[in-house]
Each structure stands twice: as C-alpha cells, then as structure tokens.
Structure 1
Amino acid sequence: MSLTTSLLIAVTMVLTTLLADRGVRAVGWGRLLRPLLIGTPIALWFASHVVTHGVGLAVEVAGALAGLVLGLGAVALARVGRDERTGQVVTRAGAGYFTVWIGACVLRFAFSYGAQHWFGQDLGTWLYRHGVALPDIAAVIGNAIVFSVVGMLLARSAGIALKARSARGQEFALAR
C-alpha cells in the first residue's frame, strides 16, 4: 500500500467520523459500531501485507497505540449526558474533540509527507538496519498510519460506550 493510499484512507475515515459526531447525537449501537464496521474492513483490506515480527511489527503496534491514546484524548473532550427533553443519552462534541481528530489527521499527513520527502531515507535505513526487509518498509509505515486511525475509531466507540453507560444512571441536562 502506498503512503498516499494510507493517507487517503485516514482522511476518509476521520471525516466520516467527524460528520457522525458533529453536534448533539443520540448514543446507540449503530452510531458506536458504524465507524468500526466501515473503517476496519477498509483498513484491513489495504493493510493486507502486515509485518508480523520484529521492529516492523513494533512500528505497526506503535501506530495503533498512538491512535488509541489520541482517540481516548478526543473522547475525554466529548460530553455525554441525558437529554432532559427526550431522556436519551446523547453526546456533544465540541471544538476540542474536533481539534484532536483534525490534529491527528494533520500529524498523519505530516508523517506521511515527511516519510516520502524529508526523512524517508533515514527512516528506511533505520527500519532496514533493524530487520525490516526493503519491500516491507513502505508497508510498515503505511500500516502504522492506518492502524492509528483504527485505534482512534476503537477508542472513540469504546470511550463513548463507557461514558454513555455511566450517564444512563445520571439525570442531568446536556446544554445545547
């Protein structure tokens, strides 16, 4: 998978998620699972050449862990509560939430661009010296980018589900 393809996947998945989370939205299984059901198969389709050992695997796992951390950070900025009019548990994602998602997308783009134009030779040499085969280097970098998006999607869905579960027992109004 080319770095451009991995970046296109990342941007598409981020925009889809942001559109789904914009404003006040009811929390339901469809909303929680939709990004995962759409994003994960796309990511796995394009990340078909996963390196399963050594530094290559570590870089791919690091991408996923970075996504989990960024996703949890974004969810921490989303409010979850019970709408006083309908009684439904809803989320309200504000500027902070969107800033984390967009910032993560910009970081992925900068990394992808940098790997192609700024520090690609150094990164490739480092990966090669640490046991990643030459044909696998681009795959490892692309997979790390895509897995970071999947990590963010997982953290988003799990974080909202946990916050919603906690909010179900609470009665408070969510400011519009």
Structure 2
Amino acid sequence: MSTAQYALNLGLLLYILATNLGTRPVTKRRMLLPVVLVAVAAGFFLRDVPTSGNDGTLELLGIAVGAVLGVVAGLLVRVRQGADGRLHTEAGAPYAFLWVIVIGGRVLFAYGADHWFSRDIAAFSVEHQITGAGAWTAAFVLMALTMVLARVAVTATLAARSVRLDRTAVAA
C-alpha cells in the first residue's frame, strides 16, 4: 500500500467520523453524497477487477462482508425527530469504534501483506486460486464501497420509517 493509499484511508475515516458522529440533520445531501463518492471511487479503483480462478469468489466475499458491516453501522445510527421537527441522526462511540476497527483492520492487513506475512498471503492465494494483489485490492475496495452503501440504505430506511410512524401518529 502506498503512502497515498494510507492517507486516503485515514482521510476516509476522518470524513466518516466528522460527518456522522453526534447529532446531524437528515438531508438529501447527507444521504446522496456518500453514494456519489462511492460511485466515483468505484470508477477510479475498480477499473480492472480480476475474475480468474477464485478472484470472483473473494470479491463476492468482500461484498458480503461489506453489506453485513454496513447494516451493523446503519443500526448503530439512531434516527429521531428533533425539537425543530426535522429528522436527525445520532451516532456515537460504538459507530466510531466500528469504523476505526474496519478501516484500521483493512490498513493493518495491507501493511501486513507487504511486510509481515506476504509469503503466507502468497501461499494462501496460490492454494485457493486467487491470482494476486489485484484480487485482494478489489475485494477490500468492494467491501468498503458496499459498507458505505449499506449504511446509507439502512439510515435512509430508518428515516423513511420514522416519517411513516410520525404521519401515522398524527393521523391517529
């Protein structure tokens, strides 16, 4: 992993924490911006996704893990109606902890693959017919992108449900 990639991961973590921790209003921009950023990142990082051998399986595993982590992240965000009548999200330490562990784990794996256990990764890859670093990179990028999309989907669903419940209460 290059210095730029380490910086990108740190920047991503700081952005996620800065824009989600605490109480924040639910806006179209807050829901759509991560989706747009994910689309841009996908176009940039997923230009050539390896599919030989078991690369596709590894990448699907990355998507599955990202979906689960994204749902967990979304469920760690509360959606409530604020005193101003608008919906707000609330995210605290468990949300931050999850993102620090996930992004930190991804960075630690990449560092370890370059420095500590590169032979073990190579042996595992050969044994399981994974063609190389490109497949691992694609799997981790897909995991990260899916996590963000799943988190946004859960938050949007909770917000929509909150609006429906509020309308039902007003009608009753």
TM-score interval (norm. to shorter):
0.7 to 0.9
Gaps spanning 5+ residues in structure 2: where?
167-172
* Structure 1 residue aligned with 2:14: 15
CA separation of 1:153/1:113 partners in 2, compared to 1, >3 Å: closer, same or farther? same
Distance 1:50 1:148 in 2: 13
Ranges of 4+ aligned residues in structure 1 off by more than 2 Å: 2-15, 128-133
Would you say how many aligned residue pairs link Structure 1 and Structure 2? Answer: 166
Contact 1:23 1:92 in 2 (8 A): yes
- 1:128 is matched with which residue: 126, 129, 144? 126
Q: TM-score, normalised by structure 1?
A: 0.83
Percent identical pairs in the alignment equals: 31
Contact 1:50 1:139 in 2 (8 A): yes
* One-letter identity of the residue aligned with 1:143: A
Contact 1:80 1:92 in 2 (8 A): yes
Q: TM-score, normalised by structure 2?
A: 0.85
User: Counterparts of 1:37-76 in structure 2 under 5 Å?
Assistant: 37-76=36-75
Q: Kindly provide the CA deviation profile for residues 79-125 of structure 1, in whole angstroms up to 9, marking residues without a partner as x.
A: 11111x21111100011111111111111112111211222212122
RMSD across aligned positions (CA): 2.0
* Structure 1 residue aligned with 2:142: 147
* Structure 1 residue aligned with 2:110: 112
CA separation of 1:8/1:138 partners in 2, compared to 1, >3 Å: closer, same or farther? farther
Q: Does 1:163 align with 2:162?
A: no
* One-letter identity of the residue aligned with 2:86: Q
Gaps spanning 5+ residues in structure 1: where?
172-176
* Structure 2 residue aligned with 1:31: 30
Q: Kindly provide the CA deviation profile for residues 14-35 of structure 1, in whole angstroms up to 9, marking residues without a partner as x.
A: 3222221122111122111101
